[in-house]
Structure 1
Amino acid sequence: MKTQTTKVQARMSPNLKARAEEIFAELGITSTEAIRMLYQQVILRRGLPFAVEIPNEITLAAIAEAEDPERLETVDDIDVFLASL
């Protein structure tokens, strides 16, 4: 007996798709499997399986800093790093 399936389509930027598919490949799954997992988790949790929030100013600043490697602070010594925390 053949299992019925239905098609899901979504539009997104090629960059977003490529970056996500690189990670899926590292995980050993396809885009279809990732989407199927998302849908299954939505059903199990009766909602999204992750928090959807609007970031505050501090978080937005941290995201901007992380996306600009020239602004990232680096340390060469783990003890110096730990002491700075």
Structure 2
Amino acid sequence: MERKTEMETIIRKPVVVSDMKQRLADINLSVSWMDFANKYFHKSSSWFYHKLNGIDGNGGTGGFNEEEIEHLRGSLFDLSNRIRRAAESI
């Protein structure tokens, strides 16, 4: 069995999802993304739309990073729970 004695450097490229708009296509017209951005991210709608469209503020390539993806996922789960509770109260 051979052991490596040299220290290896691992460089992780940050994950950026730039196709979120396509991933959310099923609900895209059903959600007020302006309200969603304000309530869950405390950001402007333009910031959120840039992220959805995979561009950064300067027109280059951008998107959601890993932390923002997890935040978005949790926020969508929260919204879905709120909708379910509203439906159950009818």
TM-score (norm 1): 0.30
Structure with more contact order per residue of length (Cα contacts < 8 Å, sep ≥ 6): 2
TM-score, with length taken from structure 2: 0.29
In terms of fraction of residues, the more strand-rich structure is 2
